[in-house]
Amino acid sequence: MRRFVLGTAGHVDHGKTTLVRALTGVDTDRLPEEKRRGITIELGFAPWRLGDDVEVSVIDVPGHRRLVHTMIAGAIGMQVVLLVVAADEGVMPQTREHVAACELLGIRRVLVAVTKCDRVEVELAQLAGEEARELLGARFEAEVVLCSARTGEGLEAVREGVRRALLGLPAPPRSGSPRLSVDRAFSVRGAGTVVTGTLVEGEVTVGQALYLVGEQGARATGARGLHVHDQAVSAAVAPTRLAINLAGVGLDELHRGDVITGEAHAAPTRLVDVLLRPGGELRHGMAAQLYVGTARSSVRVARLDRSAEESREEESREEENVAREEARPRLARLRLARPLVVFGGDRFVLRGSEVDAPSGAVLGGGTVLDAHPPRVRPRARRRAVLQALSEGSASTTVLQLIQEAAPRPLARAALAARFSLPLEDLVRALDKLVERGEVARLKSTGWIARPALLDLARAARAHVAAHHHGAPLDRGLPLETLRQRLRSSSSPEAAEEAIRLAASKHSALQGEPLVVEGDVVRSPSFTGATAATGGLGIVQQALVAAALKGLTEFQAGEVSGAPPREVKALLARLVRDGEAIHAGELWFSRGAVDGLRARVVAFFEEHAKMSVADFKALSGLGRRQTIMLLELFDREGITRRVGDDRVRAR
Amino acid occupying residue 229:
H
For residue 311, pLDDT beyond 70: no
CA distance 436 to 181: 39
For residue 494, pLDDT beyond 90: yes
More confident residue, 269 or 475: 269
- Cα distances from 3 to residues 19, 85, 171, 624, in angstroms, run 21, 26, 10, 90
Q: Are residues 16 and 155 in the same domain?
A: yes
Give 212's pLDDT tier (boundaries 50, 70, 90): very high
In this predicted structure, what is the pLDDT of residue 531?
A: 43
- Cα distances from 337 to residues 137, 271, 272, 299, in angstroms, run 36, 9, 12, 6
Residue 401 lies in a domain: no
* Whole-number average pLDDT of the chain: 86
In this predicted structure, what is the pLDDT of residue 153?
A: 96
User: Range with the lowest mean pLDDT among 299-313, 314-328, 342-356, 443-457?
Assistant: 314-328
Amino acid occupying residue 135:
L
Nearest C-alpha neighbor of 59 from the set 1, 16, 121: 16
What is the reported pTM?
A: 0.73
Q: Are residues 49 and 118 in the same domain?
A: yes
Of the candidates 370, 403, 422, which is a domain's last residue? 370
Q: Are residues 44 and 151 in the same domain?
A: yes
| H or E element in which residue 501 lies | helix 492-502
Terminal-to-terminal C-alpha distance of the chain: 79
Q: Is the Cβ–Cβ distance between 331 and 304 less than 8 Å?
A: yes
Q: Are residues 522 and 536 in the same domain?
A: no
Of the candidates 261, 290, 307, which is a domain's last residue? 261
| H or E element in which residue 74 lies | helix 68-75
In this predicted structure, what is the pLDDT of residue 107?
A: 94
In this predicted structure, what is the pLDDT of residue 47?
A: 93
Q: Is the Cβ–Cβ distance between 524 and 569 less than 8 Å?
A: no
Q: Are residues 158 and 40 in the same domain?
A: yes
Residue 403 lies in a domain: no
107 Rama sector, left if φ>0, alpha if ψ -120 to 50, beta otherwise: beta
Q: Are residues 9 and 134 in the same domain?
A: yes
Residue 14 lies in a domain: yes
Give the strand pairing for 586-589 and 192-201: unpaired
Q: Are residues 364 and 483 in the same domain?
A: no
In this predicted structure, what is the pLDDT of residue 279?
A: 58
Nearest C-alpha neighbor of 229 from the set 199, 260, 263, 269: 199
User: Range with the lowest mean pLDDT among 8-17, 158-167, 244-253, 356-365?
Assistant: 356-365
| Secondary structure letter of residue 551 according to DSSP | B
Could you report the per-residue pLDDT of 243-294, keeping only the tens digit for each?
Answer: 999 999 999 999 999 999 998 888 999 999 999 886 556 778 889 999 999 9
CA distance 447 to 440: 6
Q: Is the Cβ–Cβ distance between 422 and 468 less than 8 Å?
A: no
Residue 548 lies in a domain: yes
Of the candidates 110, 143, 167, which is a domain's last residue? 167
Residue 53 lies in a domain: yes
The CB-based long-range contact list for 66-71 (8 Å cut-off, 24+ gap) reads: 67/40, 67/41, 68/94, 68/97, 68/98, 68/101, 68/351, 68/361, 69/289, 69/291, 69/296, 69/351, 70/41, 70/42, 70/43, 71/9, 71/98, 71/101
For residue 315, pLDDT beyond 60: no
Strands (E) across 37-105 are located at 44-49, 54-60, 80-86
Residue 468: give its domain's CATH number. Answer: 1.10.10
Domain count for the chain, please give it: 5
Q: What angle do CA 71, 74, 80 make, to 5 degrees?
A: 100
For residue 33, pLDDT beyond 90: no
Q: Are residues 241 and 216 in the same domain?
A: yes
In this predicted structure, what is the pLDDT of residue 533?
A: 54
Amino acid occupying residue 199:
L
Residue 437 lies in a domain: no
Nearest C-alpha neighbor of 282 from the set 297, 298, 307, 300: 300
In this predicted structure, what is the pLDDT of residue 462?
A: 92
Structural domain boundaries, residue 474: 452-527
- Cα distances from 576 to residues 30, 342, 544, 565, 571, in angstroms, run 80, 53, 17, 17, 9
CA distance 187 to 212: 16
Amino acid occupying residue 410:
L
Number of residues that make up the chain: 650
> CA dihedral defined by 545, 578, 595, 628, rounded to 10 degrees?
80
Residue 399 lies in a domain: no
Could you report the per-residue pLDDT of 497-540, keeping only the tens digit for each?
Answer: 999 999 998 878 888 899 998 898 999 888 654 445 566 778 77
Give 307's pLDDT tier (boundaries 50, 70, 90): low
Q: Is the Cβ–Cβ distance between 95 and 124 less than 8 Å?
A: no
Q: Are residues 221 and 188 in the same domain?
A: yes
Q: Are residues 291 and 253 in the same domain?
A: no
Residue 639: give its domain's CATH number. Answer: 1.10.10.10
Residue 202: give its domain's CATH number. Answer: 2.40.30.10
Residue 162 lies in a domain: yes
CA distance 638 to 602: 11
> CA dihedral defined by 155, 160, 161, 167, rounded to 10 degrees?
150
Could you report the per-residue pLDDT of 369-398, keeping only the tens digit for each?
Answer: 999 888 876 677 788 788 888 876 788 889
Q: Are residues 523 and 579 in the same domain?
A: no
Nearest C-alpha neighbor of 198 from the set 59, 27, 339, 98: 59
For residue 358, pLDDT beyond 50: no
The three-class DSSP label of residue 171 is: coil
Q: Are residues 600 and 640 in the same domain?
A: yes
